[in-house]
């Protein structure tokens, strides 16, 4: 194996012969590291065994992960927008992209063509930090709100990368999954709505 690259929520594992193994974990997948001689974890879906006796196992209870092997030199088109840390992503560029969108901001943020790597939890957290309503039409946001949102996205993603978002001890969530609990800023009860089939958590007072 030569190297591993991350693009949004995808991993590209470049093998010694130049082929690329493309992994996408989706909901519950993760790599489990062990030895070839170990017994497999319960939800093992695929294994990669190395010459030194180590092994990487794709462990996924819900089996939604995908692995694709691409030939050497073949371009891999993932259809992703800029990464949050990308310098080409600015309040201006984001505002321009949002001005062409129909519908509310929250589902727009989940579109990987807009910004790569933003998932449902991060989108809710970023909107709360930026005090933007998840139901606000994407094209209606003022420049100042877009700038706050971009800062919040970078903050949330920066804290999340390398950690498991489900590990609440690593990453205390501000708003996600806190329906009926007091807002950490204003003590108003957090509400939950469903947008494009996904749960959205928000503070009806801070996020108007
Ligand atoms: Zn609040």
For ligand 1, the distance from its centroid to the CA atom of residue 89, given in whole angstroms, is: 28
Residue range 122-163, pLDDT digits in tens: 999 999 999 999 999 999 999 999 999 999 999 998 877 665
pLDDT-based confidence at 75, cuts 50/70/90?
Answer: confident
For ligand 1, the distance from its centroid to the CA atom of residue 79, given in whole angstroms, is: 35
pLDDT-based confidence at 27, cuts 50/70/90?
Answer: confident
For ligand 1, the distance from its centroid to the CA atom of residue 131, given in whole angstroms, is: 8
Please name which of 57, 31, 55, 33 lies closest in space to residue 44, comparing C-alpha atoms: 57
Give the mean pLDDT of the chain.
92
Q: What average pLDDT score do residues 28-40 get?
A: 94
Handedness of CA 120, 205, 103, 154 (dihedral sign): negative
Residue range 90-114, pLDDT digits in tens: 999 999 999 999 999 999 999 999 9
For ligand 1, the distance from its centroid to the CA atom of residue 183, given in whole angstroms, is: 5
CB-side exposure of 45: number of CA atoms within 13 Å? Answer: 17
Please name which of 136, 132, 112 lies closest in space to residue 124, comparing C-alpha atoms: 132
For ligand 1, the distance from its centroid to the CA atom of residue 203, given in whole angstroms, is: 5
- Whether 168 has a pLDDT exceeding 90, the answer reads no
pLDDT on residue 169: 44
Q: ∠ CA(124), CA(129), CA(132), 5° rounding?
A: 70
Show the 3-state SS of the chain.
Answer: CCEEEEECCEEEEECCCCCEEEEECCCCCEEEEEECCCCCCCCEEEEEECCCCEEEEEECCCCCCEEEEECCCCCCCCCCCCCCCCCCCCHHHHHHHHHCCCCEHHHHHHCCCCCCCCCHHHHHHHHHHHCCCCCCEHHHCCHHHHHHHHHHHHHHHHHHCCCCCCCCCCCCCCCCCCCCCECCCCCCECEEEEECCEEEEECCCCCC
For ligand 1, the distance from its centroid to the CA atom of residue 99, given in whole angstroms, is: 27
For ligand 1, the distance from its centroid to the CA atom of residue 179, given in whole angstroms, is: 12
What's the pTM? 0.81
- Whether 170 has a pLDDT exceeding 70, the answer reads no
For ligand 1, the distance from its centroid to the CA atom of residue 157, given in whole angstroms, is: 21
pLDDT on residue 149: 98
pLDDT cut 70: percent of the chain above it: 95
For ligand 1, the distance from its centroid to the CA atom of residue 142, given in whole angstroms, is: 20
Q: Which of 51-65, 105-119, 126-140, 160-174 has the lowest mean pLDDT?
A: 160-174
For ligand 1, the distance from its centroid to the CA atom of residue 8, given in whole angstroms, is: 29
Q: What average pLDDT score do residues 17-33 get?
A: 92
Give the alpha-carbon dihedral of 115, 192, 24, 48, to 10 degrees: 140
- Whether 175 has a pLDDT exceeding 90, the answer reads yes
- Whether 167 has a pLDDT exceeding 70, the answer reads no
For ligand 1, the distance from its centroid to the CA atom of residue 107, given in whole angstroms, is: 21
For ligand 1, the distance from its centroid to the CA atom of residue 139, given in whole angstroms, is: 23
For ligand 1, the distance from its centroid to the CA atom of residue 87, given in whole angstroms, is: 31
For ligand 1, the distance from its centroid to the CA atom of residue 171, given in whole angstroms, is: 19
What are φ and ψ of residue 110, in 5° steps?
-80, -10
């Amino acid at each position: 194996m030569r190297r591993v690259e991350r693009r949004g929520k995808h991993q590209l594992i470049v093998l010694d012969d130049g082929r690329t193994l493309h992994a996408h974990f989706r909901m519950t997948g993760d790599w489990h590291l062990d030895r070839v001689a170990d017994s497999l974890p319960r939800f093992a879906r695929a294994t990669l065994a190395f010459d030194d006796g180590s092994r990487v196992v794709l462990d996924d209870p819900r089996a939604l992960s995908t692995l694709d092997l691409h030939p050497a030199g073949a371009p891999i088109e993932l259809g992703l927008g800029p990464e949050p840390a990308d310098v080409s992503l600015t309040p201006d560029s984001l505002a321009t992209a949002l001005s062409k969108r129909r519908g509310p901001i929250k589902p727009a943020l989940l579109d990987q063509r807009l910004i790569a790597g933003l998932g449902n939890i991060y989108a809710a957290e970023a909107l709360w930090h930026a005090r933007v309503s998840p139901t606000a039409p994407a094209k209606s946001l003022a420049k100042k709100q877009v700038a706050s949102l971009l800062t919040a996205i970078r903050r949330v993603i920066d804290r999340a990368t390398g950690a498991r978002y489900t590990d609440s001890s690593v990453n205390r969530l501000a708003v996600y999954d806190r329906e009926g609990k007091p807002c950490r800023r204003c003590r108003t009860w957090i509400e939950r709505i469903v947008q494009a089939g996904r749960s959205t958590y928000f503070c009806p007072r801070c996020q108007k």
